Structure 1
């Protein structure tokens, strides 16, 4: 099923972007063999040789509104070559869609591209992962398209996300704990992990929290286990204590 979704998505992007399309690239959990249908997104970045027209983004949005979350959520950013060749963090982008942005497009459909010059700090993290572990779905090789992202830009991006997880864990406790763990591991030894890999590493790194971590990992894999927020709070503080010591 995932293969069919990717093939259909890439085909649609090719149809809409035409000769302007440089490539379509996979990052995130699916690229790192940590995809679970019940909890994972399909994460894609498309690159064009020049910005597309509003009408092209309208067609892409129409497609994504109909297809995303049926059955898997799709998150996609579209960048052009100039934005990549003149890298500046946070990075400009031409277009973004995710389920978090669904209401934006449903309520304000007149302009579909990034007309306001918004920047996305998360792209430093996405492109770092893509450079390390991404996959080409269509087009030019990764090394020919994407710049090497400065380490400080990557750290800035993941630490901002880490802070959100630390402060708002109740919104998505499984994502928050696993993401905090992968930040912890990167700061400790420079390894770039998926959330699942970070959780499995945490079982060894924080043995006193194995019980709660096993529950978190089980939920990430699609189990419906109930989580104890008091246990999660304790684990969060244990991770944060280690991370603070490295900052």
Structure 2
């Protein structure tokens, strides 16, 4: 992909970004890139960037990322190797860019280091995907993420997901299904594979709503959400069911 090469060239061309390796992860590695899918790239560096490097990387990400027919949204994450190896929780993210943050960044905000529980899932997915763009295989430079921390990171993201339910319905439903899958299996699956796993275990009355979310993910851009009638009415009951299953596994894990 031409856009992936642009990301690699951007990362390699930023003075002060001392790169160990860069890695494609997410749907483009786990199951194939979908119509609304982001290009997800993790960069592992040897040290934290200074202010100038952050500005240069951000300016480049704003240019490379997009949301049109010829540009996909880019999610670019930078982590300092010594801050995740040896592994500890919560991990620290050195830099995060995503299209959902574009307005803040265009208004002058600069990505700074901060704790990011979700990075546990991202690092585990990167290791599972094993798709280096530059540098060694991820298993050589990243520690395995313990299952207990995958659970903690999954649970930490639920409040934010619920806040987004009404304007990002398909992704919230599929991500909740993936959290359920991760807690049950210890694996991080693609959204559609997690939906398949959940559909086989959901009560029949909830399946049509999750099947619709899966269909939208596999076939439609974000401009074609198409939630109406019985499908819209079934969203909240499905969420309640998924949360109940997640809580059941969380309780079982904590008692174990």
Q: Normalising by the residue count of structure 2, what TM-score does the alignment of the two structures yield?
A: 0.85
CA separation in 1, counterparts of 2:31 and 2:181? 18
Instruction: Identify the match of residue 27 of structure 2 among 3, 26, 29.
Output: 29
Contact kept in structure 2, 1:91 and 1:120, CA below 8 Å: yes
Q: Where in structure 2 are the equivalents of 1:144-159 lying within 5 Å?
A: 144-159=140-155
Give the secondary structure class of the aligned counterpart of 1:85. coil
Give the secondary structure class of the aligned counterpart of 1:16. coil
Quick check: 1:137 aligned with 2:137? Answer: no
Quick check: 1:59 aligned with 2:62? Answer: no
Please name the residue that 1:195 is paired with. Answer: 191
Segment drifting more, 222-231 vs 128-137? 222-231
RMSD: 2.1
Q: Where in structure 2 are the equivalents of 1:85-104 lying within 5 Å?
A: 85-104=85-104
Quick check: 1:240 aligned with 2:243? Answer: yes
Give the secondary structure class of the aligned counterpart of 1:169. coil
Please name the residue that 1:181 is paired with. Answer: 177
Which sections of structure 2, spanning at least 5 residues, go unmatched?
251-256
Deviation at 1:239, TM superposition (A): 1.8
Q: Normalising by the residue count of structure 1, what TM-score does the alignment of the two structures yield?
A: 0.88
Which sections of structure 1, spanning at least 5 residues, go unmatched?
none
Give the secondary structure class of the aligned counterpart of 1:245. helix
| 1:194-245: CA deviation from partner (whole Å, max 9, x where unpaired) | 1111112223222613322221111112333622221111222222222222
Please name the residue that 2:253 is paired with. Answer: none
Contact kept in structure 2, 1:34 and 1:196, CA below 8 Å: no
Contact kept in structure 1, 2:17 and 2:53, CA below 8 Å: no
Aligned residues between the structures? 240
| 1:3-26: CA deviation from partner (whole Å, max 9, x where unpaired) | 111111102211225782111011
